[in-house]
Chains A and B, each alone.
Chain A
Amino acid sequence: MTLAFRPQLTGLPVLETERLVLRAPKAEDWPAFRDYRASPRTVYAGGVKKEQQAAEQFASFFGHWVMRGFGRLIAEERATGQPVGHFGPMQWEDAGQVELTWSLWTAAAEGRGLATEAARAMHNWVFGPLGLTSAKAEVHRDNAASHAIARRLGGRLAPDQRPVWMEEGAIYLFSGAAA
């Protein structure tokens, strides 16, 4: 049935890159996110999640925007119109440091520099219009692709810090410089 109302996020930025549009998450992104969350691609991001947990995480994307005024954007490939991943700052704890996150949802999106392209746009928005002055990223020891992105964004490894939830992880610190 068609409803007379449509709950949605409004007022979010749209970031345009050569091959991608980073835009507000929407309900229609759910199947692609669910499939990503059920795939082995999540090995460095907390592992495979049951559909119920994946749905909570997905819903939290929207709630996070409302609560904090920032959050994850969905990268859509211009050529296909398909969502290929999520990119954005996240802050679960009121006093916690903002974390930059990036994830490509499918293997088909890999190997073409899309993650770097999206992460760079996200980073420039975070330290530009959004006005943050520091952030971190948490990267699994074996996630070589993400280590490369963190370095390209100007991240500095914090050798003495470990992510709370990921013992085998490293923390990069960002200040907005050199990206």
Chain B
Amino acid sequence: MIALSGIPVIETERLRLRGPRPSDFEVCATFMASERARHIGGPLQRSIAWRAFCHLTGHWVHRGYSMFIFADRQTGEPLGMAGPWFPEGWPEGEIGWSVWSDAAEGRGIAHEAATASRRWAYEVLGWKTAISLIAEENTRSQALAQRMGCWPEGMFTFDTGMTARIWRHPGPAEVAA
């Protein structure tokens, strides 16, 4: 059985954060192909989304960590992704997040997933700092960043030419306090 093994699981009140599975791809691809993905370079055609999902998965092996898939603890339904993300070329380790459907919005689950994964990055990976890269028009993610105690810094330009605001997270000591 070919598998990606050795990925920890984090449980929160309503969510299970776990490694990506092939069966998550359909939900992820639907998100990537939708207007919801406009702040992360989308909408993306399926073959591009497939590569992006491969990248997300492989980042776990290459770096030893990556974004988790967060799923409803009760139903098992995958709802989005959140966690540490640091591809080559990134200015600093990021806490990223995406909620994959409208239906999953408005209940604070992105906050629940992002906060749990940030704590994991600090406590388990030993990160000393973290940022989030957020498109200037992405007001929802900005609101979440503010709720997580982040403050805006300068802009970052990706190699695709897209730009994003750097939001700095409070450090490990402040988050633990």
Contact = CB atoms under 8 A, between A and B. Distances in A.
With most chain A CB atoms within 10 A of its CB, the pick from B21, B88, B125 is B88
Contacts of B41: none
Contact of A61 (B6, B7, B58): B58
A26 B125 CA distance: 19
B7 A7 contact: yes
A61 B62 CA distance: 10
B155 to A, nearest CB: 18
Contacts of B60: 7, 62
Interface stretch (B46-54, B93-101, B132-140, B161-169): B46-54
A39 B125 CA distance: 33
Contacts of A25: 61
B25 to A, nearest CB: 7
A94 B26 CA distance: 12
B19 to A, nearest CB: 7
B128 to A, nearest CB: 11
A99 B3 CA distance: 22
A59 B62 contact: yes
A67 B64 contact: no
A70 B2 CA distance: 8
Contact of A62 (B22, B25, B61, B88): B61
A25 B64 CA distance: 14
A59 B59 contact: yes
Given A54-B88, A63-B54, A5 B62 contact: no
Nearest to B53: A63
Given A27-B64, A55-B87, A58-B62, A7 B6 contact: yes
B56 interface: yes
Contacts of B147: none
A66 B62 contact: no
A18 interface: no
A132 B125 CA distance: 41
Interface of B: 1-8, 19-22, 25, 46-47, 50-51, 53-66, 87-89, 124-126, 159
Given A3-B125, A7-B66, 9 more contacts: A4-B124, A9-B4, A54-B88, A56-B87, A59-B55, A64-B58, A66-B57, A92-B50, A94-B46
